[in-house]
């Protein structure tokens, strides 16, 4: 099965260093299949990469102006040389694997793109926008028709291509289009799920098989960085305490004789300290938040704040409520790891999400 990559997939790992890309190249070598980048995606990757370089050069220049010591030690960044290196990398990322930059023979007709926008036809959205995604999709359709080979289409734009938020299959309109065109296109939201689906073998992982380096001490800092981005009803946390992280399950995927990828799932609890203020006036507070405020803000005159009344969707606060607010959350996290010849080569945090607000521990 050939693989077509959207620009958002490559821009997320432009050097092909994270878990998934190296294994994709292993897959292509093993199967003799093609890796394809649409021409329009190729141009977008180059444009966004140049913007990143120019922003970096500007930031370095600004920093250099502030220094007394070491101002002459900043590296010179040759943007044109970096751009050429990027093109070389995208065309041939591996000695045995080349990437095809694909442009349709007939080109993408402006009328076909406009028609989808006018009629709100996927992957155009309900406002007739996202026409760049329309052009990517028309390229994928054209390639599948011309090659007459099954195609894996990988894009992080779930909203444009997926049936629903919780489904990894193509939107039914796009599936019908594939059926009418007699082509076989499979959608993936990232490289790793594709690699897992096309592994040689799969085996469950026991807790005793998790490498020592992927244990609480290292996961603590990884998860703390993710928890920091949680917005509570009172604001973002100023302090984070990871109370518990437990391994739940995992799977080892054999990609080639020398390469395997592991997926580990963990579950944990975190205690967050938030420096919060609720302004006076009518404020929307759900019943759980209302209860939490009554239990937590014992140092505040809750009668003056208006929190002694019966919970309702809108509470009229007669004073600002300051202070340190403590909340506890449960979370799930997914770790991916790459193994070469049985040895751990690298690992990283793939996903993190908080699952529920927890009741305070007894005595708190």
| Closest by Cα among 359, 333, 166, 329 to 248 | 333
Q: What percent of the chain has pLDDT over 90?
A: 36
Taking all residues of the chain, what is their mean pLDDT, rounded to a whole number?
Answer: 80
C-alpha 77/C-alpha 74 separation (Å) is: 9
352 lies in a domain?
yes
Rounded-to-integer distance, Cα 229 and Cα 227, Å? 5
Please check whether residues 250 and 101 belong to one and the same domain: no
pLDDT at res. 228: 67
Residue 304 lies in a domain: no
pLDDT band with cut points at 50, 70 and 90 for residue 300: very low
In a domain, 24, yes or no: yes
Q: Are residues 148 and 207 in the same domain?
A: no
Question: Three-class SS of residue 5?
Answer: strand
Strand residues in the chain grouped as ranges (E): 2-5, 35-38, 99-102, 151-154, 185-188, 201-204, 239-254, 259-275, 281-284, 314-317, 324-340, 343-358
79 pLDDT higher than 70? yes
pLDDT given at position 216: 64
Does 311 reside within a domain? no
Residues 185 and 216 in one domain: no
**Do 79 and 101 reside in the same domain of the chain?**
yes
Among residues 150, 165, 197, the one where a domain terminates is 197
In-domain check, residue 206: yes
Select from 148, 166, 197 the last residue of a domain. Answer: 197
The helix/strand/coil state of 325 is: strand
Same domain? 135 vs 241? no
> What is this structure's pTM?
0.73
Which of 42-46, 169-173, 266-270, 294-298 has the largest mean confidence? 42-46
Lowest pLDDT segment from 29-33, 134-138, 316-320, 339-343: 316-320
pLDDT of residue 311: 45
User: Is residue 182 located within the same domain as residue 247?
Assistant: no
65 and 176 assigned to the same domain: yes
Instruction: Kindly state the DSSP code that residue 208 receives in the 8-state scheme.
Output: G
Tell which wins on pLDDT, 306 or 292: 292
Residues 29 and 127 in one domain: yes
CATH of the domain at 332: 3.10.450
Given 197, 227, 254, the domain boundary residue is 197
Q: Which of 219-223, 227-231, 343-347 is predicted most confidently?
A: 343-347
Neighbours of 118 (CB within 10 A): 11
Are 152 and 216 contained in the same domain?
no
Would you say residue 88 has pLDDT above 90?
Answer: yes
Same domain, 235 and 269: yes
CATH number at residue 108: 3.40.50
In a domain, 186, yes or no: yes
What is the predicted pLDDT for the residue at 50? 95
Distance from C-alpha of 185 to C-alpha of 195, rounded to nearest angstrom: 16
| Residues 6+ positions from 323 with CB-CB distance below 8 Å | 275, 276, 297, 299, 300
Asked whether the predicted pLDDT for residue 202 surpasses 60, the reply is: yes
Compare 178 and 215 and report the one with higher pLDDT.
Answer: 178
Concatenated DSSP letters of 257-283: SSEEEEEEEEEEEEEEEEE--B-SEEE
Please write the tens of the pLDDT for every residue from 146-161.
Answer: 999 999 999 998 888 8
Per-residue tokens: 50: 């140049």
Residues 208 and 234 in one domain: yes
E-assigned strand segments in 93-167: 99-102, 151-154
In a domain, 286, yes or no: no
Q: Specify whether 21 is located in the same domain as 62.
A: yes
Nearest to 142 by CA among 99, 112, 172, 98: 112
Domain range enclosing 206: 201-276+323-358
* Number of domains present in the structure of the chain: 2
- Whether residue 332 is contained in a domain is answered as yes
Percent share of the chain, pLDDT over 70? 76
Given pLDDT bands bounded at 50, 70 and 90, which one contains residue 126?
A: confident
């Amino acid at each position: 099965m050939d693989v077509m990559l959207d620009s958002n997939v490559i821009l997320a790992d432009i050097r092909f260093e994270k878990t998934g890309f190296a294994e994709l190249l292993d897959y292509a070598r093993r199967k003799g299949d093609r890796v394809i980048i649409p021409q329009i995606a190729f141009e977008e990757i180059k444009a966004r990469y140049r913007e990143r370089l120019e922003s970096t050069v500007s930031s370095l220049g600004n920093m250099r102006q502030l220094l007394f010591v070491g101002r002459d030690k900043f590296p010179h960044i040759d943007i044109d040389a970096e751009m050429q290196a990027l093109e070389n990398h995208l065309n041939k990322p591996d000695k045995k694997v080349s990437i095809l930059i694909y442009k349709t023979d007939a080109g993408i007709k402006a009328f076909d793109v406009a028609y989808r926008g006018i009629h709100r036809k996927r992957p155009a959205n309900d406002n007739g926008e996202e026409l760049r995604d329309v052009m990517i999709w028309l390229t994928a359709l054209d390639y599948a028709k011309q090659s007459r080979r099954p195609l894996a289409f990988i894009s992080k734009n779930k909203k444009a291509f997926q049936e629903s938020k919780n489904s990894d299959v193509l939107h039914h309109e796009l599936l019908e289009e594939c059926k009418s065109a007699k082509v076989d296109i499979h959608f993936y939201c990232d490289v790793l799920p594709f690699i897992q689906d096309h592994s040689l073998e799969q085996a469950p992982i026991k807790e005793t098989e998790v490498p020592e380096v992927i244990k609480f001490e290292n996961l603590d800092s990884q998860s703390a960085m993710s928890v920091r981005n949680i917005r509570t009803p009172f604001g973002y946390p100023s302090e984070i305490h990871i109370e518990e992280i437990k391994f739940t399950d995992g799977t080892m995927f054999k990609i080639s004789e020398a390469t395997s990828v592991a997926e580990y799932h963990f579950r944990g609890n975190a205690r967050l300290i938030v420096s919060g203020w609720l302004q006076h006036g009518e404020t929307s507070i759900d019943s759980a938040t209302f209860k939490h405020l009554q239990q937590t803000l014992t140092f505040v005159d809750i009668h003056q704040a208006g929190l002694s009344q019966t919970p309702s969707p809108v509470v009229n606060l007669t004073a600002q409520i300051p202070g340190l607010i403590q909340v506890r959350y449960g979370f799930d996290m997914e770790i991916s790891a790459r193994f070469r010849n049985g040895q751990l080569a690298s690992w990283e945090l793939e996903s993190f999400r908080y699952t529920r607000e927890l009741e305070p521990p007894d005595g708190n």
